[in-house]
Amino acid sequence: METRLLKPVWALGCLLLALAMPSHADRMNKYEFSLQVPYLYGETIDFEGGASADIASDPGFGFTAGYNYSNRLNLRASFTWNDTRYDGQRIIDDGERTTESVSGVMDTFSFNGVADYYFMEGRFTPFVSGMIGWSSIDSNIAAGFPEQVCWWDPWWGYVCDYYQPTYGGDSFSYGVGGGLRLDLSPNHFVRVGYYERWIDVDYAESDPSLGTAIFEFGFMY
């Protein structure tokens, strides 16, 4: 009975010992590509004039492409997408400050240039990150009447369709983060981190901060 109970303990101990050993990393001068699962944490954004938006937590998807200049320094580009539910209130300019409730799903795309610094040169290491980039947000709320758009198609000829303008825009963003990285082999790795980004949203009372936990599985070559 005791032997069966001790086997998992020994296995866990051996795993932790293997991770803690100062094994040599083989990241230097390698390109890398990873698939991401970013989990965006909910946040409330307050706007000038009394409007507000409660953004729900939401998982998304993304990928990165980068280069390891050394076993400690990595530069990469990160691309993420989220479809996030929100509930908000806006003030109608009718002289009586009437409040209108709105809700829906907003589409967001974010691009960031990221610099990672690894504290150790081994296969298992903590890291810190800094990033700058921009985010594109589409509220999917109609911003006027549908507009007709026409173009020439080489197969169908002159074609027209309707386009619905919506509220949204592009915003500058910056942030910091940190986490852990484990190189599973000379060609595979996992990276887990938490990142806080500040987005320069028009008419917000202050730059809202969005927290995101990201799990990555990647390839090096």
Q: What is the pLDDT of residues 180-191, one digit of tens each?
A: 999 999 999 999
In a domain, 192, yes or no: yes
In a domain, 165, yes or no: no
Q: How far apart are CA 123 and CA 181, in angstroms?
A: 8
Number of compact structural domains in the chain: 1
Could you identify the residue written with the tokens 């800094």?
Answer: 130
pLDDT of 8 over the 90 cut: no
Instruction: Give the pLDDT score at 182.
Output: 95
pLDDT of 141 over the 50 cut: yes
Q: How far apart are CA 171 and CA 66, in angstroms?
A: 23
In a domain, 94, yes or no: yes
Selected residue with higher pLDDT from 4 and 82: 82
Cα 94 to chain center, whole Å? 38
Q: Which two tokens stand for residue 2?
A: 């005791």
Selected residue with higher pLDDT from 150 and 165: 150
Q: Which residue range is the domain that position 43 belongs to?
A: 31-141+171-220
In a domain, 37, yes or no: yes
Cα 160 to chain center, whole Å? 36
In a domain, 17, yes or no: no
In a domain, 213, yes or no: yes
Q: How far apart are CA 33 and CA 26, in angstroms?
A: 15
pLDDT of 92 over the 50 cut: yes
In a domain, 20, yes or no: no
Q: How far apart are CA 27 and CA 25, in angstroms?
A: 6
Q: What is the DSSP track for 46-91?
A: EBTTS-EEEEPPEE-EEEEEEEESSSSEEEEEEEEEEEEEEEEEEE
CATH classification of the domain holding 186: 2.40.160.20
How do the residues of the chain divide into helix, strand and coil, expressed in percent and rounded to 5?
10, 70, 25
pTM above 0.75, yes or no: yes
- Tell me the mean pLDDT in the region 14-30: 65
